[in-house]
Every structure is written in structure tokens, then in C-alpha cells.
Chains A and B, each alone.
Chain A
């Protein structure tokens, strides 16, 4: 059979070099580009956070003026959420590993996949370009109306921020379609629903959430663009709560969009490094789906001080508490998997343990805030900042690094320096807790979030200084990781399956060929690679 070779010259030239990346439709290259893009934005947003922490290290600091401070935390939140966490977990890990784990040669729509990446990168570049060249939004990542309307945000920076998010939404939505169709139509023979890897289930749930939630945010963003530029009145003074509803209808599920893939990674890593099957696989799958479902029923807990009807508030208080149940099921299943296991305490597992320890603190403070009186007391205080960093850094970022340490040997064909990995883990764990734990106390002591500075004598000095020291420890931990990435060039060859993994990506070369598998594997259980090793060692 003749090959499909249109256009032939580009195909030949696009096998390597810069053109190889610009024209690629290979899910693995696109995944790597997502990861690199996301990591660069992570470093940039981290640098913004360091300026924020320096400003707050002591009372009455004037490193930046209040307006610049507002711009910094707006961009920090926006970049960390939309340009780092979601692209890294969904675009990066999802693209690279979902097809490999289900035994497919690519995603269902490879060119659409490339388009999703390029439009995400374009949106990120323009948002950040606007920031660098003075067109800056300063209405926080929540962009509440009326802060974000033309009266209070008259500059073009707000419009650029809105348009950037709209474009990112297009990329996310198309990516979600691609993942769902890939999962539905391209699984290897024998991969029944219960044999789909947990990361696949997490990605499926995430994709459904993206598909249901993102259009609502996109609609809200378009309405705000129209309000600002064409004098419509969607979010006029007496309807500003509408923005909050539409924004949080996306942005609370977005928390689960950011955490479910990380949970999927943890569910893959722990069984491999505990040398046991995942405890209660079906319970973990069902709890993932329940989190996806319940994630759409909790958004009003962000609005307990916004004047919502008390009866409705009570409903959302209840649902917010209920969503802790499936999350708790997962925690117990992971612990039960570890229990009695033959633990291989390499960096990927350490990152998972960091995930469990820190995420549970964020989860518990979340359950506390589900209670309306407590929420009203700590609302918009540093307690909230502590809470969501324990969820999103303690959960998502530890999960991301667990995934990176686990899969970097597959991506690069080289082993990460284990000593540097462990140093990175301990610096990050300590730095993270030193940064964010004192913020609980600062919040309870009445320190509002988003303030550019504070007067002395309020009892906030020590906590802020400690948090700033922790932030620099965190920055140091990232430098150690970067050093480890640089040293990968001289790393030990990884081979196909350095961890004795369970899933199909470990059955092909490291890095995998363009077509992933010369022959599509046939799956007979939820741990096909374990089966293969068992057959090799037990059968004549």
C-alpha cells in the first residue's frame, strides 16, 4: 500500500529541527511543547510570586506601588491556573501519555490537537506580551465586576486578558473533544472500561468537565468584552452577581480540572512503587466520576458573602461538604494501596506522599470553609490563600512533579538524577509548608488577601517574614529541578521499563517511536505490563 504523503517535501523536512516542532501533529511532541510552555510560565509566575512575597516580607514595604502589586497578583493567579497547571496536566501529560496508555498510535484528531496547542500558546504569549508592554489587567484572576468593567479597569489590559482567556478556552474545549473521542474510539483491543488506566479515567472526567464548564466562562468573557467595548449591560451595577455565578460555574469545576489529572497520576504511581495493585480500583473510578459530577454543584460556596439567598447557601454548604466524601474515598484507597506494600521510595513516590500529606490539609480546610459562618469569617483573608495553595500546589503541583519524575525516563530515555530529585522534593515540601502554613494564622489574625502592604503592630510581621523565606526555599527547589533536567543529558539510559510499570506506555521504547507501537498490544487485564512480566518469568 502506498503511503499517504501530502505534502511530501514538508513531511521530509519536518522530521527534525525547528520545522519538526512547528509542523508536528505527533501527540508526544505536542505534549512536550505543552509541558515546556507550562513550565516556562510556571517559572515566570513563580518570579512574580517572589516579588509579591518580598513586598509583604515586612510592614510598609514599597518595592512596587499598589497598582503594580494588583497587576502582579492578577497575572500570578492567571498564569498559574490557565497557563501552567491546566496546560501541564491536561495538555502535557494528557497528550503525551493518554494515547500511549490506551495503546493508540495518536489522538483521534492530530491536527486539531496541534491547533489546540498553538492557540493556547498564542493566547499565553499575547496575555503575557500585554503584561510586559504595559497593557496589564489588575482586577485579579477572578475579574469581578465592577472591578473589571470600563469604569474601574479602563485600560486595554483588561480586554487583552479577556480575549486571551477566550482563546485559551477554545484550545481547552477542542483538546477535551479530542481526548474523549480518542478514549472512546482508539483503545487497544481488550481494553474494556474497567481496564482503562486510572489516568485515563481521570482525563475522561476532566474532559467532560472542560466541555461542560468552559463554554459558560467563554460566554461570560464575551459578555464582559461586549459590556466594555460595545456598551451592552450584561453585568450592569444591579447584575454584578451574574458575573460571579458564571465565573464560578467554570472556576470551581476548574479546581477539579486541575486536581483530577494529578489524582490520576498519583493513582498510577503509587501502585507501581508500592508493588501492589491499586486498592479498590472501581471505587477510585466511581469516586472520580462523582467528583466530576458534584464539582458542578458547589460553586456558590465562593459567594457566601455576596448576598445569595440563605436557603440556596445552605444547599451549597451541604454539597461542598458532600464532595469531600469521594475525595476521602480516594485518600483511603491510596493509603490502603501503600499499606503493606513493598515501598520503593524513589522520587515519584515521595512526590505522591507529599501530595497526600499536603492535599489532605487543603481538603480539610476546604470542608471547614464549607460551613457558612466559618466562610464568612475567613472570606477574602489569607486563610483562603493558604487553603487554595494547599489544594493546588500541595495537590496539583506535587502531582505534576510526581508525573514528571515518573515519566521523564519514558520521554527522554534517560533517568533523572535521584539525589537531585530527592533534594528537590525535600526543599519543595519544606519550602511549601513554610510558605503557606503561616498564612492560615495570618488569615485568622485578620490579614486580608490582595493587600499591597500593611502597617506594623497588627501581629502579621512574623508570619509574613516566614512565608517569604519559604517562598525562596521553593524557588531554590525549582532551581534544583532545573539542574536535574540539564543533567538529564548525562543520565543513565532508562530502557523501556525502568520502574516495572503496569501500563502500556512502558511496553514501547524510551522515547517511543513516532507510531508508538509497531503492533497494537492486546490488553487482558488492568495491568497489562505486569501480566507480560509474569508470563515471561513463570511460563516456559
Chain B
């Protein structure tokens, strides 16, 4: 069989998961829901009143903050757990 890179003309990644026995999936998170709720409230506050804008901005910041926090912690966990030859992409 041809190698992956030889078979794929438009930039395919290396096969990073094929040999993984325990697939790790992204952790669930409420941040997207909170962020979207904040943006929705803020947008409609433009026409419905400033209280909605304030609530929306607060929710937006909470959603963004928790999202970024998760990303930072996840990134450090990956860096700590990775084998030296496990670097990919």
C-alpha cells in the first residue's frame, strides 16, 4: 500500500490516531453555550434595551474566559503527557 502522503495530493495530515488504542475525545464544555447566549443577548440588547447588552456582555466574557481557561489547561496537559516522539502536525 502506498504511504499516506504519497496517496494524497492535497495536504493530508500524518495518521496520528491509527494506532491509538484508547481514543481520547475533546472534553465536554458549557463555554460554547454560554458564549453564544451572551452574544445573542447582547445583539438583541441593541434594540431591546441596555440591560440585555450588559447581561450579554457578562455572559460573553464568562463564556470566553472559561473557554480560554480550558484551552490553556488542556494545552499544558497535552504538553506534560506527550512523549518526545509524539509530537505531530
A→B interface (CB under 8 Å):
1-7, 10-11, 14-15, 19-20, 22-26, 105-106, 110-112, 114-115, 117-119, 121-123, 126, 156, 159-160, 163, 166-167, 170, 184-187, 189-193, 225, 229, 514-515, 517-520, 522, 524
B→A interface (CB under 8 Å):
1-2, 4, 7-13, 15, 17-19, 21-33, 35-37, 39-40, 43-44, 46-48, 67, 70, 73-74, 77-78, 81-83
Contacts of B10 in A (CB 8 A): 184, 193
Contacts of A122 in B (CB 8 A): 36-37, 39-40
Across the interface, name the chain B residue whose C-beta is closest to A524.
B1
The reply to whether A119 and B67 contact each other, CB–CB distance below 8 Å, is no
The reply to whether A6 and B27 contact each other, CB–CB distance below 8 Å, is yes
Contacts of A23 in B (CB 8 A): 28-30, 33
Contacts of B36 in A (CB 8 A): 115, 118-119, 121-122
Q: How far is the CB of B78 from chain A (nearest CB, A)?
A: 6
The reply to whether A186 and B13 contact each other, CB–CB distance below 8 Å, is yes
In the bound complex, how far is the Cα of B73 from the Cα of A15, in angstroms? 21
Contacts of A4 in B (CB 8 A): 24, 27, 74, 77-78, 81
**If the complex has contacts A2-B81, A189-B18, A520-B17, are A111 and B24 also in contact, measured as CB distance less than 8 A?**
no
Tell me the number of A-to-B contacts counted with CB atoms below 8 Å. 138
The reply to whether B23 and A111 contact each other, CB–CB distance below 8 Å, is no
In the bound complex, how far is the Cα of B47 from the Cα of A123, in angstroms? 14
The reply to whether A7 and B12 contact each other, CB–CB distance below 8 Å, is no
Q: How far is the CB of A289 from chain B (nearest CB, A)?
A: 14
In the bound complex, how far is the Cα of B36 from the Cα of A248, in angstroms? 28
**If the complex has contacts A106-B25, A123-B40, A185-B12, are A25 and B47 also in contact, measured as CB distance less than 8 A?**
no
In the bound complex, how far is the Cα of B86 from the Cα of A2, in angstroms? 13
Task: Pick 15 A–B contacts, CB within 8 A, sort by A.
Answer: A1-B82, A5-B77, A11-B27, A25-B29, A112-B32, A121-B36, A126-B44, A159-B47, A160-B47, A163-B44, A167-B39, A187-B12, A189-B18, A191-B8, A229-B46
In the bound complex, how far is the Cα of B74 from the Cα of A105, in angstroms? 18
Contacts of A105 in B (CB 8 A): 17, 23, 25
In the bound complex, how far is the Cα of B60 from the Cα of A115, in angstroms? 12
Contacts of B48 in A (CB 8 A): 156
